[in-house]
Amino acid sequence: MYGVDGTGDDEPLFRPYAVTGGRSEPRYHLAMETLISSMSIPDDEMALLTPEQEAIMQLCRSFRSVAEISALLRVPLGVARVLVADMSDEGLVRLHQPQLSQGQPDINMLERVLSGLRRL
Protein backbone atom coordinates (compact mmCIF):
# COMPACT_ATOMS: atom_id res chain seq x y z
CA MET A 1 0.00 0.00 0.00
CA TYR A 2 1.29 3.41 -0.82
CA GLY A 3 0.35 6.79 0.54
CA VAL A 4 -3.34 7.61 0.02
CA ASP A 5 -2.41 11.24 -0.40
CA GLY A 6 -0.88 10.47 -3.80
CA THR A 7 2.66 11.36 -2.75
CA GLY A 8 3.96 8.44 -4.76
CA ASP A 9 6.15 7.14 -1.97
CA ASP A 10 8.28 4.33 -3.33
CA GLU A 11 8.17 2.30 -0.13
CA PRO A 12 5.01 0.36 0.68
CA LEU A 13 3.52 0.99 4.12
CA PHE A 14 3.16 -2.76 4.67
CA ARG A 15 3.81 -6.12 3.09
CA PRO A 16 0.38 -6.97 1.69
CA TYR A 17 0.01 -10.57 2.81
CA ALA A 18 1.64 -9.94 6.20
CA VAL A 19 -1.35 -7.88 7.35
CA THR A 20 -3.79 -10.60 6.33
CA GLY A 21 -1.93 -13.39 8.09
CA GLY A 22 -1.18 -14.89 4.69
CA ARG A 23 -4.88 -15.07 3.75
CA SER A 24 -5.68 -14.18 0.15
CA GLU A 25 -9.45 -14.77 0.39
CA PRO A 26 -11.93 -13.40 2.95
CA ARG A 27 -13.97 -15.73 5.13
CA TYR A 28 -17.04 -15.05 2.96
CA HIS A 29 -17.68 -14.00 -0.64
CA LEU A 30 -16.95 -10.34 -1.30
CA ALA A 31 -17.41 -9.31 -4.92
CA MET A 32 -14.97 -6.78 -6.33
CA GLU A 33 -17.88 -4.50 -7.25
CA THR A 34 -19.18 -4.44 -3.66
CA LEU A 35 -19.38 -0.84 -2.51
CA ILE A 36 -17.84 0.09 0.84
CA SER A 37 -18.52 3.05 3.10
CA SER A 38 -16.77 3.83 6.36
CA MET A 39 -18.69 4.05 9.60
CA SER A 40 -18.38 7.05 11.86
CA ILE A 41 -16.22 6.23 14.87
CA PRO A 42 -14.92 8.41 17.73
CA ASP A 43 -11.46 9.96 17.38
CA ASP A 44 -10.07 7.94 20.28
CA GLU A 45 -11.02 4.73 18.45
CA MET A 46 -9.53 6.06 15.19
CA ALA A 47 -6.20 6.30 16.98
CA LEU A 48 -6.31 2.52 17.58
CA LEU A 49 -6.63 1.61 13.89
CA THR A 50 -3.79 0.08 11.93
CA PRO A 51 -2.37 2.22 9.12
CA GLU A 52 -4.16 -0.03 6.61
CA GLN A 53 -7.50 0.35 8.36
CA GLU A 54 -7.05 4.10 8.64
CA ALA A 55 -6.29 4.39 4.91
CA ILE A 56 -9.40 2.39 4.02
CA MET A 57 -11.53 4.46 6.42
CA GLN A 58 -10.32 7.66 4.72
CA LEU A 59 -10.91 6.31 1.22
CA CYS A 60 -14.40 5.09 2.06
CA ARG A 61 -15.75 8.38 3.33
CA SER A 62 -17.38 8.28 -0.08
CA PHE A 63 -18.51 4.99 -1.59
CA ARG A 64 -15.68 2.93 -3.07
CA SER A 65 -15.73 -0.49 -4.64
CA VAL A 66 -13.40 -3.20 -3.38
CA ALA A 67 -11.64 -2.97 -6.77
CA GLU A 68 -11.10 0.78 -6.29
CA ILE A 69 -9.68 0.24 -2.81
CA SER A 70 -7.28 -2.34 -4.21
CA ALA A 71 -6.16 -0.02 -7.01
CA LEU A 72 -5.84 3.11 -4.88
CA LEU A 73 -3.87 1.32 -2.15
CA ARG A 74 -1.85 -0.60 -4.72
CA VAL A 75 -2.47 -3.98 -3.11
CA PRO A 76 -3.65 -7.23 -4.67
CA LEU A 77 -7.42 -7.61 -4.88
CA GLY A 78 -7.34 -10.59 -2.50
CA VAL A 79 -5.61 -8.50 0.17
CA ALA A 80 -8.13 -5.67 -0.21
CA ARG A 81 -10.99 -8.18 0.11
CA VAL A 82 -9.55 -9.67 3.31
CA LEU A 83 -8.91 -6.25 4.88
CA VAL A 84 -12.39 -4.95 4.01
CA ALA A 85 -14.13 -8.13 5.20
CA ASP A 86 -12.24 -8.03 8.50
CA MET A 87 -13.13 -4.35 8.94
CA SER A 88 -16.77 -5.13 8.24
CA ASP A 89 -16.70 -7.84 10.92
CA GLU A 90 -15.32 -5.21 13.34
CA GLY A 91 -18.07 -2.72 12.44
CA LEU A 92 -15.66 -0.23 10.87
CA VAL A 93 -17.13 -0.28 7.36
CA ARG A 94 -20.50 -1.08 5.82
CA LEU A 95 -20.79 -3.37 2.81
CA HIS A 96 -23.27 -2.51 0.08
CA GLN A 97 -23.60 -5.77 -1.85
CA PRO A 98 -24.91 -5.50 -5.41
CA GLN A 99 -28.54 -6.51 -5.71
CA LEU A 100 -29.10 -8.78 -8.66
CA SER A 101 -32.62 -9.00 -9.99
CA GLN A 102 -33.24 -11.85 -12.41
CA GLY A 103 -29.51 -12.22 -13.00
CA GLN A 104 -29.08 -8.61 -14.13
CA PRO A 105 -26.76 -6.25 -12.22
CA ASP A 106 -28.10 -2.95 -10.92
CA ILE A 107 -27.38 -0.35 -13.62
CA ASN A 108 -26.92 2.44 -11.04
CA MET A 109 -24.28 0.42 -9.22
CA LEU A 110 -22.45 -0.27 -12.48
CA GLU A 111 -22.49 3.43 -13.34
CA ARG A 112 -21.04 4.31 -9.90
CA VAL A 113 -18.27 1.73 -10.30
CA LEU A 114 -17.49 2.98 -13.83
CA SER A 115 -17.42 6.57 -12.58
CA GLY A 116 -15.04 5.58 -9.78
CA LEU A 117 -12.76 3.74 -12.17
CA ARG A 118 -12.63 6.75 -14.49
CA ARG A 119 -11.48 8.89 -11.56
CA LEU A 120 -8.47 6.61 -11.10
The per-residue pLDDT for range 55-86, each reduced to its tens digit, is 999 999 999 999 999 999 988 888 899 999 99
Range of the structural domain that residue 65 is part of: 29-99
Find the mean pLDDT for residues 2-30: 63
Query: pTM for the full model?
Result: 0.70
Percent of the chain clearing pLDDT 70 (strictly above)? 77
Q: Has residue 63 been placed in a domain?
A: yes
Q: Is residue 54 within 8 Å of residue 13, measured between CB atoms?
A: no
Q: Has residue 62 been placed in a domain?
A: yes
Q: Has residue 3 been placed in a domain?
A: no
Q: Has residue 109 been placed in a domain?
A: no
CATH code of the domain covering residue 73: 1.10.10
Number of domains in the chain: 1
Q: Has residue 20 been placed in a domain?
A: no
Q: Has residue 53 been placed in a domain?
A: yes
Q: Has residue 55 been placed in a domain?
A: yes
Confidence band (pLDDT; 50, 70, 90) for 1?
very low
Handedness of CA 25, 101, 69, 50 (dihedral sign): negative
Q: Has residue 69 been placed in a domain?
A: yes
